[in-house]
Amino acid sequence: MIFLLEYDRSCGELVSIRSYPDAEREFAERDRLVCELELHRNGLQREVVLLQSESEAALRKTHGRYFEDLAALTAAGARE
């Protein structure tokens, strides 16, 4: 599966997540571009990424920073 994530770094929050079957990579790439252009047009600075993973559960394990809130990330960083 392919996942399109929109993440707001300033508040450490996942704004949106969409999933696509692997066969729809072109649609996912188009939607990523549309999202980035819309954010730029509105003056918003957010991270927009496409990630491929077996499932959302697997994605949450490998890219957990997108799914944890800012307080959890700060606490994790302090422990390291």
The reported pLDDT for the residue numbered 29 is: 97
Instruction: For 16-58, write each residue's pLDDT tens digit.
Output: 999 999 999 999 999 999 999 999 999 999 999 999 999 999 9
In this predicted structure, the answer to whether residue 80 has a pLDDT above a threshold of 90 is: no
User: What counts of helices (H) and strands (E) characterise the chain?
Assistant: 3, 3
Cα–Cα dist 8/44, whole Å: 9
Model pTM score: 0.83
Give 68's pLDDT tier (boundaries 50, 70, 90).
confident
